[in-house]
Amino acid sequence: MRQPTRLRLPRAALAAPLLAAVLLAGCATRPPASDPDAVAEYRQNNDPAEPANRRLFAVHQAIDQYALRPVAVGYRAVVPQPVRTGVRNVLGNLRTPVILANDMLQGESRRAGDTLGRFVINSTLGVAGIFDVAESWFGVRGHAEDYGQTLARWGVGEGPFLFIPVIGPSNPRDLLGFGLGIVSDPLSWFGQGAVVDALVYGRAGVTVVDTRESLINTIDDVNRTSLDPYTTLRSAYRQRRAAEISNAGEIAPAAATSTGFGVGTGMDQQRR
């Protein structure tokens, strides 16, 4: 008999009403029309909920200082580099369904072919995705793609900037894409049970640790050299997303995720 499928609501959907309440509580005051430069900058920053976002950023910084960063530093110290690379390769390989779907939704048949070919080769010759032989033997490099980028290509605007603790810098479009990525992932279709739950949560946890580890130096630099780390992260996130959406220049590795700090996964180490 078939198991009844349980509706697996993404955590983001549950958090949404709570978030909305926080956002409504703190809105930035729009500068007066008599100061056109200030108005232009206000529009440029695209951050009407800035006071609320800054509060959430403070929450994130505390979580990061006491939990995320120490765990990432420990992971880097204990697990040797080749193993960490293997972990990142597996995570990237597991993202294939999302990447492939979005290559196709954007009409990028060549990139879709790359993604499919990489999946077949890395899942078999690469031993369940541990070794990226598609790149090292065949020279086919992985790339990231997600629903937020597809929505952007279809003309959906990013909406106001949002900062979500643990996830990081984002916006409604990328959060929607993040949710679509979870719902459309075949891993979330396999009914229920302790094993499936453990796999889903385990993968989410490893993704967070892997992402944070790959950004230790970058974020340390921001916290040390920026006079206002919040603004630096906001600006960097939006610029980086714009570059990703246009598929211009260097490409993010397949393990990079769809929003927040995840878009910077492997920036330091995985470039060629």
Min. distance of Cβ 248 from another protein in angstroms?
7
**How many angstroms separate the CA atoms of 134 and 140, rounded?**
5
Q: Which residues contact 87 (CB under 8 A, 6 or more apart)?
A: 79, 206, 210
Q: Which residues contact 163 (CB under 8 A, 6 or more apart)?
A: 53, 54, 56, 57, 60, 169, 170, 230, 233, 234
Count residues near another protein (CB under 8 A): 30
Q: Which of 89, 122, 234, 261 binds another protein (CB under 8 A)?
A: 234
DSSP reduced 3-state for 47: coil
Would you state the structure tokens that stand for residue 257, as one six-digit string? 């995720």
Q: Count of residues for the chain?
A: 272
In sequence order, the β-bridge partners of residue 116 are none
Interface segment toward another protein; rule CB under 8 A; list 88-96, 121-129, 194-202, 246-254:
246-254
Say how many CA atoms lie within 13 Å of 108 toward its Cβ: 21
Supply the DSSP symbol for 2: P
Residues in region 15-44 near another protein by CB under 8 A: 37-38, 41
Q: Which of 65, 136, 192, 239 binds another protein (CB under 8 A)?
A: 239
Residues in region 39-68 near another protein by CB under 8 A: 41, 45
Min. distance of Cβ 35 from another protein in angstroms?
9
Min. distance of Cβ 106 from another protein in angstroms?
18
Please choose, from the candidates 255, 209, 167, 206, the residue with its C-alpha nearest in 3D space to the C-alpha of residue 76. 209
Q: Which of 1, 33, 195, 248 binds another protein (CB under 8 A)?
A: 248
Q: Which of 168, 180, 244, 254 binds another protein (CB under 8 A)?
A: 244
Binding to another protein by residue 158, rule CB under 8 A? no
**How many angstroms separate the CA atoms of 229 and 116, rounded?**
39
Q: Which of 22, 71, 166, 243 binds another protein (CB under 8 A)?
A: 243
Residues in region 200-229 near another protein by CB under 8 A: 221, 225-228
Min. distance of Cβ 189 from another protein in angstroms?
34
Binding site for another protein (CB under 8 A): 37-38, 41, 45, 221, 225-228, 230-232, 234-236, 239-240, 242-244, 248-250, 264, 267-272
